[in-house]
Structure 1
Amino acid sequence: MAPKEVYIGVIGAGGVGKCFLSQLESLSKRYATNASSPKISLVFISRSTKTLYSEKYTALPFENLSTKLANSTQKHLSLTEAIGFLSAAPGKAILVDNTSSQNIADQYPQVLSKGISIVTPNKKAFSGSYKLWQDIFSAAAESGAIVSHESSVGAGLPVISTLNDLVNTGDEVTKIEGVFSGTMSFLFNSFAPLEGSGGKWSAEVMKAKELGYTEPDPRDDLNGLDVARKLTILARLAGLPIESPTSFPVQSLIPKELESVASGDEFLQKLPQFDSQMEETKAAAEKEGKVVRFVGSIDVAKKEVKVGLEKFDRSHPIAALKGSDNIISFYTKRYGANPLIVQGAGAGGEVTAMGVTSGLIHILERLS
C-alpha cells in the first residue's frame, strides 16, 4: 500500500514559523525513509503580504523556502481563499497557524468545518470568548478534523497533554498552580533571587527587554494578560466555563501612572521612579523568610482563577526556578499531597515550534 499523502498549509513564517519549517523539513525526510509513514506535502505557506503555494498540490521544495516566499509574485490569498485551496486538496489537509492573530483564530470553526485539522501555538483562539472555544470544538467534532494546541501553554512543555491525560483517565484535578511566563520567571529570579539581593526592578525589566525576553513593549508582559490567557485555556480544559481572560482577578505590575504613556521606551524611561513599590513587596516577603513570584492558580473545586504576586517559602519548587523556566503543578486526587510537576523552558522559538511539530505528529498518526 502506498503511504497516505497529507497536505500541509502554514501561516506565519517569523520566529516560531522559521523554526517550525526547519523541523518540518527534518520530519518529512525522516518519514520519507519509512514506508509506513504518511507522505507530508507542504503545499501552501503565507505571511502578512506574501503567499507561496503549489496549484497542483505537488510538494513545495524546502530549499531556500523563505527567500522564495519573500520573492513570490503569486496572488496573496486571503484566509478564506486559503481555506478553499486546502479543502480542495486530493487528501487530508492540516493548517499550521504560527501566528498570534485573533482574526485567524476567529475563523478556526470555518477551517475545521471543511475537514481541515489545525495545529497552532495561538493562545487567542482558545482563550478568546467561551463561544469561540465551543464553536472550535463542536466544528471539529462534526467534521472529524483534529485540533492540537499544545504549545499555546508552556511552549514545548507537555502541559496540555498532561492535563488532558489526567482528565480523560478520570482523575480529579483539584488545583493547578505555577509560573506560566518565561518573562516573569526571568524577572523575578533576578529581582528576588534565593541568593543575593537582586537588582532594581526597573533595571531588571530593562535587562529582560535587551535580552529579548519581553515583548517590544514590556507592558504587554507586565499587565499579566499573557498568563491570564494560559490560565483560561487550562481552566476550560479542567472543566470550568471561564468566559474570558478578563473575567477573573489579574494583577498588573504596570504602575497606574504609566499605563497610558505613549510608548514602551517612554515606559522604561519613567519606570525607575516607581522602583520603591516593588522594593517594598520584596522586603515584606523577605521579612517572612520568603520570596515573591508572579504566579497563576486555578482552584477547580472553588471555581476560582487568579493571577498575581504570591509569597513562597524558599524551599518551594516555585521559589527555586532558574532563568526563564516555567513550572506547572497539578494537584489531583490520585497524586495526593505531592503534585505532578511539569518544569522547563517555557519560551523560545525552537521549543515553541517543537510543541507545534509534536502536535502535527499526533494528528498525522491519527489521520494515517
Structure 2
Amino acid sequence: MGNASVDSGSEDCESRQWLTSDESPAISSVMFSAGVLGNLIALALLARRWRGDPGRGAGGRSAISLFHVLVTELVFTDLLGTCLISPVVLASYARNQTLVALAPGSRVCTYFAFSMTFFSLATMLMLFAMALERYLAIGHPYFYQRHFSRRRGLAVLPVIYTASLLFCSLPLLDYGQFVQYCPGTWCFIRHGRTAYLQLYATVLLLLILAVLACNFSVILNLIRMHRRGRRSRCGPSPGSGRGGPGPRRRGERTSVAEEADHLILLAIMTITFAVCSLPFTIFAYMNETFSRKKKWDLQALRFLSINSIIDPWVFAILRPPVLRLMRSVLCCRISSRTQDAAAHTSCSTPSSASKQADLCGQS
C-alpha cells in the first residue's frame, strides 16, 4: 500500500485525487482475504459450540459460557469491521482514485476514518470486557454468580458500540478532523491540529493497561487456587468424610484448567492488540514532520488493521488440544521449579503425582 513520496507534505496527501502507478492492491487483498476467512472459521467453531456438544453435559448446553459469548461478540466485531473497511480500499485501487475522489465532499474518506477509529476502539473495549469478566469470575465469584449471566453478556455488544459511536463521533462535531493520508487509500484522524488523536491513543493505551492488570490478577488467583488444591491433598484422604470430596475436587481441577485456557487465549489476544497498537501510539505522540519522513502513519494503520485479522486465527488455532499442550508445558516448568520444595513436605509423593492435576488436567 504505498511507496508514494511523503516529501510533498501532508497537504498534498490530503487533496490527492489519483493513485500513483506503482501502487499495488496485493497487501490489502491478502489482509482482506485472511481477515474474512479467519473470522468465518472462528464463527463456525463458535456456532458449533453454541449448538452444543453432545459429549459435554445434558444436551451439551454447558459448553458455552459468558466468556464465549464475549468471544463471539469480538469475532463478530472483527468480521464486521473487515467487511466494512477493506472493500473501500480495494475500490480505490480498482478505480485508481484516492478516497477523497471516490465521492463528493470526501464522504468516503470520512466513512473510512470513522470506521477505523470505531472498530479499533470497539475491539479494545471487547478485550477489556473479556478481561474484566475473567477477573470477576476468579477474584469475586459470589458477586459474579449473582450479577452476571450469558443473557447479560448479550447486552455488552450494544453498550460497547454505543460508547464507541459517541467517542468516535467527536471529529464529526468539529473536535478533531478526519483527513486523507498518503498514498490516498486510507483516512484517519488529522495529526497535530487538535489533541483528539492523542486522546484517542491514550484511551487505547489505558484500556491495554487495564486488561493487563486484570490478566495479572487472574494469574495470581489461579496460582492461589492451585496451591489450595495441593494443600487440601495434604489433609484427609479422598475417601474420608460424608459423601467423599472426590467429585468436588474433580470439578475444581476442571475449573482451574478451563480458567487457564481462557487466560491463555485472552493473554495472547491482548498481547497481539498491544503490539499492533504500539506503532499507532508512537505515531500519535510523534512530531508530525518526523512522522511523515519515517512513514509511521502508514505503518501505524497497517498494524492497527492486522489485529482484527489475527484475533480470529488465534481462536481458531488455539483449540482445546493445543491449549492442553500449552498448559502441560507451563506445568512442567512449574513442577521443575517447585520439585525441591515439594520433596520436603509430608505429602510430597501424592503432591508430586497430582501437582499437574489442577492446572494441567483436561478440561
Give me the TM-score of the superposition, normalised by structure 1.
0.25
Where is the helix percentage greater, Structure 1 or Structure 2? 2
Structure whose residues are more often strand by fraction? 1
Task: Report the TM-score, using the length of structure 2 for normalisation.
Answer: 0.25
